[in-house]
Amino acid sequence: MTHRSTALVLLDYQVALCEEGPHTRLPALAHAVRERDVLTKAATVLCAARAAGVPVLHVRLAFDPTFRLRTNRSARFDAYPKDGAMLAGSPEARIVEALAPRDGEPVIDKGAVDPFVGTPLREVLAAEGIDHIVIGGVATNLVVESCARHATDAGLQVTVLEDLCASFSPEAHAFAVDTTLPMFATVASSDQVLQEWS
């Protein structure tokens, strides 16, 4: 892979999803993130990407105050407006400190699981000449899988870094990694890209 045509896309590494504490919305997911040491590994990959000049994009779930810009209108997503949760400026929607965006790294807000729906992500990648994305995020069987499916169908090459992902249970993570994701992406470990980007 050439650095010029590859981007690192980090998906939903947010306080409410990844950190155990007062802002946690999904305790089982935050627990899995800690158990798998996902944030430490993601921070190492992020550092390597920056050092190698690999473009970095951050994607997060974040809503406007009206919640009318959310494209996912499922019953599961109804909990966000009901609770007034994951507003764009709230502490819970913030990207975790270990992966905080730097100046020049776009942050794309979405109102659905799929990071391409209702966002300029595909157009931004095209404008940057990106044809291969390296992704990690939470949850494995939600945003990571949705991203891989959409990106592949849109003509991008996709690499999923398995150890940068976690889900609500080991079984859900394993099924996505072993069964679903290989149909849409190359599943790799962070060690593989760290060697390439070093």
Quick check: 142 and 17 in contact, CB under 8 A?
A: no
CA nearest to 147, candidates 64, 58, 25, 76: 58
Quick check: 125 and 7 in contact, CB under 8 A?
A: yes
Q: State the architecture of 3-61+94-197 in CATH terms.
A: 3-Layer(aba) Sandwich (3.40)
Q: What ranges do the domains of the chain cover?
A: 3-61+94-197
Looking at residue 77, its pLDDT comes to 96
Looking at residue 1, its pLDDT comes to 45
Quick check: 60 and 14 in contact, CB under 8 A?
A: yes
- Give one DSSP letter per residue of 32-72, joined into a string: HHHHTTHHHHHHHHHHHHHHHT--EEEEEE-B-TT-TT---
Quick check: 118 and 111 in contact, CB under 8 A?
A: yes
Res 84 pLDDT > 90: yes
Bridge partners, 138 (sequence order): 166
pLDDT tens per residue, range 96-130: 999 999 999 999 999 999 999 999 999 999 999 99
Looking at residue 3, its pLDDT comes to 56
Res 64 pLDDT > 50: yes
Pairing of strands 132-137, 157-161: parallel
Res 2 pLDDT > 70: no
pLDDT tens per residue, range 7-40: 999 999 999 999 999 999 999 999 999 999 999 9
- Whole-angstrom distance, CA of residue 104 vs CA of residue 40: 22
Say how many C-beta atoms besides its own lie within 10 A of residue 9's C-beta. 23
Task: State the Cα torsion 150-156-157-159 to the nearest 10°.
Answer: -50
Bridge partners, 136 (sequence order): 10
Q: Is 158 helix (H, G, I), strand (E, B) or coil?
A: strand
